[in-house]
Structure 1
Amino acid sequence: MSLRRFTLIGGGALALTAALLLALLGRGARKEPERPALAPSPPAQSSAEPREGLAMRNLGFRLLGRSDPEQVKAGMQALTEAAARGDVEAELSLGRIHLAGIPTVPKDVTRAREHFLRAESSRHPSAAYFLGVMSQNGQGVKADPREAARWFEIAAERGSPDATFLLANAYRAGAGVPKDDKKAIELYEKAGELEHAPALQTLAMAYLHGELGLERDEAEYRRYMMEAEHALQHRPIPP
């Protein structure tokens, strides 16, 4: 991608940023071993993403796959620029990176939560899912099962199978919500319809052992296990 294209896209400020990033990208012609890029989850409203943010996000992922710490740093700068331009996927990716940490970027749960909160304003299911996980685990905020369940419900309503599964677990355990086996089963089934293998395995084991108020049923156990095996081969993109 040429510097001229970046100039046409974003003007002077973007050109300066692109010049720095492209210079880093072009350091040395030698081929380096690359780490897998941190792939974004499916965008909630990709058609509305500004072109400038999308270009910077793509460049950021390209740089994050490099082994040179300076190029990785430049990749983070590109993602930050993309997020500032309204790219929700870049905002989410910054949250994921700070939540887990990578060799050249230390873990920072406070910053991760800030990124997820900004991304949540666009109603992206992954943002609400991660806010639920952080509330559940006490990351960047005091552990609060009720708040975790609230975020999981929001993400589940937006179509997140992982959040639907965790919300089912909450109803099964009575963590942050009233204990309700019937509601848990409904949610496990909903997650299973979205090919969430752990939800299908949970239902299989419930039928095998007579849990969640279900009668033992080996036929249903086998059916759900077969569906779980199928789901493992068609795993949905993680949040």
Structure 2
Amino acid sequence: MEELKSNSVSCRDYHPLYAPASAGDIDAQIELGIKYRDGNGVEQDGNKAVEWLTKAANQGSTQAKFNLGYMYKDGDGVPLNYSKAIEWFTLAADEGDMNSLVWIGILHQRGHGFTQDFSKAAECYSVAASKGDSYGQYNLGNLYRDGKGVPGDSHKALELFTLSAEQGNELALEALGELYIAQRDYEKGKEYLRQAGANGNQNALETLKKIEAVQEKHRIEDSVRKITCPFCGKKSVWKAKYCHGCTARILYSPARKYEWMGIGIAIFSAVVGVAMDPNHLGRVLFFSFLIWPLSLILSRLFGEQQAFFRKD
């Protein structure tokens, strides 16, 4: 009997798993194969992982066939072999495993083991998506968004991303966020990116930080008062001495409306004063028209200003 090599526990502790696996228990064979694949409690050994998973696959285990395909497509503990990966994925997919079907689509899309073919990838994703597989929905959404293998259709992409995101797929949440950002719906886009980040997608959090930084920059820029040059049409920051777009000088002076307001108040005060006390006409007129220069002084100190562009 083959002995189980362990780097953390004794072989005796693994007898409850090893014995049934040797006796043909499929679940024990899969568990043992995965432990050898990952080095989880035993010395990592890709060959032993393949041996035990193959025993389970030969007894009809779809899960074992998927795991074998996954090992061969990455070269995970075994030599990279797309042909074997496709063989095992196909067997599992024929038994209804949507994860395997999605990976066949990915291999078609990447041109790994197949001639690159986005249409065939879309066919695989479409079947998986129709069965409710979140990665099938997400991958098919990407193809519709990019117009690869299928006609470009942002509405279809949005629909598929939403279906996938509703199942908690962090990649779909990120894609939804980016799609809404591209459509200038920033608040909804940022919310989906936050959800993706909460589900462990660090890339979505980085994208969110960049978007918020850009928004803050625009908010600050928009809060700065600007004036438009009549000569070149460029905007300059208020209080700049020269136009940012040409050589025009910028001069500032109190807005004329305050001068007219001062004159109006002075005339009104004089009329009312005379009407109320005609015997002291001179005094009334003196104090009334004193309001005008006072209003000019106050407008220069505290009033609104206007800018003039002048080319010397």
- State the partner residue of 2:185: 217
CA offsets, 1:56-114, max 9 Å, x none? 11222223334757x542221111010000111110000000000124x1000000000
| Larger-Rg structure | 2
Q: What is the CA–CA distance in structure 2 between the aligned matches of 1:205 and 1:56, rounded to whole Å?
A: 43
Contact 1:98 1:106 in 2 (8 A): yes
- State the partner residue of 2:47: 73
Contact 1:132 1:148 in 2 (8 A): yes
Contact 2:93 2:101 in 1 (8 A): yes
Q: 1:102 to 1:218 in 2, by over 3 A?
A: closer
| Alignment root-mean-square deviation, CA | 2.1
| Other structure's SS at 2:104 match | helix
Q: Which TM-score applies when normalising by structure 2?
A: 0.55
- State the partner residue of 2:298: none
- State the partner residue of 1:10: none
Q: What is the CA–CA distance in structure 1 between the aligned matches of 2:116 and 2:108, rounded to whole Å?
A: 5
- State the partner residue of 2:70: 96
The residue type paired with residue 87 of structure 1 is S
5+ long unaligned stretches in structure 1:
1-18, 33-50, 211-215, 234-239
Contact 1:192 1:200 in 2 (8 A): yes
- State the partner residue of 1:169: 142
- State the partner residue of 2:91: 118
Contact 2:46 2:76 in 1 (8 A): no
CA offsets, 1:129-166, max 9 Å, x none? 10000111111111111000000111222232222111
4+ residue runs of structure 1 moved beyond 4 angstroms? none
Contact 1:61 1:75 in 2 (8 A): yes
* Larger RCO: 1 or 2 (CA < 8 Å, sep 6+): 1
Whether 1:136 and 2:109 are equivalent positions in the alignment is yes
- State the partner residue of 1:107: 80
CA offsets, 1:153-209, max 9 Å, x none? 112222322221110011111111111111111011111111122222222222223
Q: Which TM-score applies when normalising by structure 1?
A: 0.71
Contact 1:125 1:159 in 2 (8 A): no
- State the partner residue of 2:197: 229
- State the partner residue of 2:242: none
Q: What is the CA–CA distance in structure 1 between the aligned matches of 2:110 and 2:121, rounded to whole Å?
A: 9
Q: CA deviation at 1:232?
A: 2.7
Contact 2:65 2:88 in 1 (8 A): yes
Q: 1:227 to 1:63 in 2, by over 3 A?
A: closer
- State the partner residue of 2:279: none
- State the partner residue of 2:28: 55
Q: How many residues align?
A: 185
Question: In proportion to residue count, which structure has more strand?
Answer: 2
Q: What is the CA–CA distance in structure 1 between the aligned matches of 2:185 and 2:7, rounded to whole Å?
A: 61
Whether 1:150 and 2:150 are equivalent positions in the alignment is no
Q: What is the CA–CA distance in structure 2 between the aligned matches of 1:222 and 1:61, rounded to whole Å?
A: 38
Identity of aligned residues (%): 28
Q: What is the CA–CA distance in structure 2 between the aligned matches of 1:134 and 1:184, rounded to whole Å?
A: 21
